[in-house]
Structure 1
């Protein structure tokens, strides 16, 4: 394993872990206001972005090449680094949707999905 690439994924993991802990902490609370929903969604976007980049860095350190979030998730699933590749792809789709659209009903539904589905796979 290339030492520089190993250092990169380990540094990325530290950042991911900090972001995940914040997401986990606040997603476990009762969320009722628009500001709270927006905060959870933002934590999710940041954590998910770090997650796929962590997968990419780790795969590269192992000698595999992944250039996109989709490729990184597919390769990580094939290498058995993650489970439930379909749910990871769903999370990727939702993360992409949230960055381009804001709709209160969508936000309320997404917060529930984050709490019940996406948080467990990121853990």
Structure 2
């Protein structure tokens, strides 16, 4: 694996750890909003990690949707639909944002997205160690 993929994985690992801490500790509006921001960062780092990892395999993707579809096809993601919904939710948070909807998205972060992001980390890490 290229050194660049390993650097992306380390950055993603730190962001994921912060997201998991945020999910566990979120009990008021301030901590929920902080966790949502941590999710946004994790999302950005996840697709950039996927892009680098797949490029190393000779697979080119240039946007989150294509990267997530290719990552699912290559066994890096647990559920393609979860990741496609993640795109919608991230875009909503960044471009539209309402308080009520942000709380619905937080529930998906807590109940689904954090686990899916962890799955990605574990599977890419295993593939790097296996190489």
Q: TM-score, normalised by structure 2?
A: 0.86
Determine if contact 1:77/1:85 at 8 Å carries over to the other structure: yes
Question: Which ranges in structure 1 are unaligned for 5 or more consecutive residues?
Answer: none
Instruction: Quote the Cα distance in structure 2 between the aligned partners of 1:120 and 1:67.
Output: 24
Question: Paired residue for 2:65?
Answer: 70
Which residue of 1 is the match for residue 19 of structure 2? 23
Kindly indicate whether residue 83 of structure 2 is the aligned counterpart of residue 88 of structure 1. yes
Is the 8 Å Cα contact of residues 37 and 107 (structure 1) preserved in structure 2?
A: no
Deviation per CA, 1:10-54, whole angstroms, max 9, x where unpaired?
101100000000000110124222x22221110000001100110
In the TM superposition, residue 108 of structure 1 has moved relative to its aligned partner by 1.2
Q: TM-score normalised to the size of structure 1? A: 0.91
Counterpart CA distance in 2 for 1:8 and 1:76 is 18
Alignment of 1:1-123 (within 5 A): 6-33=2-29, 35-123=30-118
Q: Distance in 1 between matches of 2:106 and 2:60?
A: 32
Contact 2:23–2:35, Cα closer than 8 Å, also in 1: yes
Aligned residues: 118
After TM superposition, give the deviation of residue 74 of structure 1 in Å. 0.5
Moved segments of 4+, more than 2 Å: none
